[in-house]
Structure 1
């Protein structure tokens, strides 16, 4: 039996004892239920196994694990493995930590056989610490039944997806604001959505209204929002400056540049990318022309590479390798 685990760190009180419960209710009432990217990895793995007919159990007690069972742990932080005393090998990831230096003894503290990342650039960070045999890649599948084109007349040219996370004042001044000004001055209609501040239904509705999307994010290990837009057959013009800009990663890497990408799953059928605003000016006209001529087909790319079924089959390959079995 395959056991899949996902545990979130407990919510802490913010102002007074017990207010975490009240604040949680208020947030849900104001914003609706939201699923984090890490939780979506867990949810979509379950969907992937459902799609290919693989049985599994979710979050069972560690004491119920049998010697022949296979273990996948996709939780957040050290709490995810707290209390695990079984000898069964573990397939772990995607976000037990932000960087391997936060948990350098993970593979000696627990029987970790694989530590997974979604893409090659993220995996490269873990190889020096855990080794090539343990550090591996597995992509999370996209639910193409949930994320699909809406049959409606699209009146807005561009949706701007704003996921700028670090040094926002600099990037607003040197990237986002110039892009907004360019679109306004050239009478290119647009709407903007900000990461972390919307309901999933709002994002889906905007994807149905807009012909293409400008994706502003420093880097992604997979990029759910980008992939979900592509599943909706919305082409992407992505900011892809080429390096990790997370200040913590820069410190962990002794100040050395760390190659990264905002579009680890991408193809010319999906759209295009740009390095900075000057490059954006040189790419936007061609991108808009491609939108109007239906030159892109990102949904086709998703079907070829990132479906739930393909994700589930890749995980089965990993399980078979780790446990020397044939599922």
Structure 2
């Protein structure tokens, strides 16, 4: 088959004068070292790793080729400035690195009629986008590198790793949720350690997981949730805060968008662990979780649903569906 055409770039606009992005990029590299891939970049990297495992050829950011072949599909993985900053003639599969809400671009399919699929990371986000874009929207998750994230050797002397990814109103939740959870754990003589989103390296996370029997995952909602899925891939079961309710992004809620329900663990089944709604039912779910802890099989769930190979195959299926439609 012909190679897939894939495109990804981080936003890096000029800030003060024309072309100043280039020296700023060099200075950032010198001061901060090599950039750590963010969530959307991982979508692109893991897709390419999965395609490598399948033996599927692809071109990456080959603008010279795509400009000469306007009939071929361009897979714009992210971020969406790639779509808006270039006049694409090619049919486009956009995502899963996409803007937060369709209200940002309600006329997308009018202004960019060559967009043939809009990929979002999970089902609840697809439900949020479909009223605007209809059947163009498809849920597609990126794969988890299960070679990198494997069961970890170590003395598991700590009962729980608390993964704190509370993003908004953190001070309020620190007292009302996080500290309450720690108090209950202490009352039951369950040891714990905490890792805060954005303040650790992968080495830190692996070290903490190697010491921990289970994890408690705290996040208002996730579009996919790479971090908790990496935890599951190490065969570490999770007690997850499933707050539910409305999408909480303060740029939109409640003045602009009210959408529900959302999920903190959108990819999940009973092998992964248990969920709790809040502090009122945490203790009950905790005691049930501790009883069942050794019977959970979270890695099996990941291996059956979210490997690099499986997710790359799903992307390839979407690509081929669009190609079949174009051939008509």
- Structure 2 residue aligned with 1:245: 248
Contact map agreement 2:220 2:243 (CA 8 A) in 1:
yes
- Which deviates the most, 68-77 or 205-214? 68-77
How far apart are residue 312 of structure 1 and its match? 1.2
> What SS does the corresponding residue of 1:5 show, helix, strand or coil?
strand
- The total of aligned residue pairs comes to 316
**Is 1:117 aligned to residue 109 of structure 2?**
no
- Aligned residue in 2 for 1:321: 321
Unaligned runs of 5+ in 2: none
Query: Residue in 1 aligned with 2:12?
Result: 10
Show the counterpart of 1:162. Answer: 164
Q: Distance in 1 between matches of 2:39 and 2:161?
A: 20
Q: TM-score, length-normalised on structure 1? A: 0.90
Asked if 2 retains the 8 angstrom alpha-carbon contact of 1:212 and 1:235, the reply is: yes
Q: Cα deviations across residues 270-299 of structure 1 (Å, max 9, x unaligned)?
A: 1000000111111111212222xx210000
Q: Secondary structure at the match of 1:281?
A: helix
Deviations 1:121-169 (A, max 9, x none): 10111111111x2111111111110100012221111101010001112
TM-score (norm 2): 0.90
Q: Which residue of 261, 279, 282 corresponds with 2:281?
A: 279
- Find the aligned partners of 1:62 and 1:214 in 2 and give their Cα distance: 47
Separation in structure 1 between the aligned mates of residue 149 and residue 320 of structure 2, nearest angstrom: 30
Partner of 1:139: 141
Contact 1:80 1:96 (C-alpha < 8 Å) held by counterparts: no
Using the alignment, how far apart are the partners of 2:162 and 2:278 within structure 1?
A: 15
**Aligned-residue RMSD, C-alpha:** 2.2
Where do residues 147-226 of structure 1 align in structure 2 (5 Å cutoff)? 147-226=149-228
Q: Is the 8 A contact 2:166 2:173 kept in 1?
A: yes
- Report the counterpart of residue 127 of structure 1 in structure 2: 130
1:27 aligns with 2:32: yes
Cα distance in 1 for partners of 2:156, 2:96 equals: 36
How much has 1:106 moved relative to structure 2?
2.1
Q: 1:274 to 1:185 in 2, by over 3 A?
A: same
1:116–1:135: 8 Å Cα contact kept in structure 2?
Answer: yes
- Give, in whole Å, the separation in 1 of the partners of 2:310 and 2:55: 13
Q: What 5-or-longer segments of structure 1 have no aligned partner?
A: none
Whole-angstrom CA distance in 2 between matches of 1:259 and 1:6: 30
Say if 1:78 and 1:96, in contact at 8 Å, map to a contact too.
Answer: no
Whether the 8 Å CA contact 1:33–1:199 is kept in 2: the answer is: no
The Cα shift of 1:70 comes to 2.4
**Counterpart of 1:49 in 2: which secondary structure?**
helix
Paired position in structure 2 for 1:89: 91
Matched residue SS, 2:162? strand
Matches of 1:139 and 1:159, distance apart in 2: 25
Q: Where do 4+ consecutive residues of structure 1 move more than 4 Å? A: 11-14, 17-21
Aligned residue for 1:268, secondary structure, equals: coil
SS at the partner of 2:266? coil
Q: Does 1:74 align with 2:77?
A: yes
- The answer to whether the 8 A contact 1:139-1:222 is kept is yes
Residue by residue, what CA displacement relative to the aligned partner does 1:248-279 show, whole Å, maximum 9, x if unpaired? 3324655x452100011111111000000111
Q: Write out per-residue CA displacement over residues 171-208 of structure 1, whole angstroms, 9 at most, x where no aligned residue.
A: 11211110112223332111111111111111122111
* SS state at 1:203 partner: helix
Aligned 8 A contact 1:8 1:80 in 2: no
Say which SS state the counterpart of residue 271 (structure 2) adopts. Answer: helix
Q: 2:55 aligns with which of 41, 53, 56?
A: 53
Output one character per residue of 1:99-134: Cα deviation in whole Å (capped at 9) or x when no partner: 111122222222110101121110111111111x21
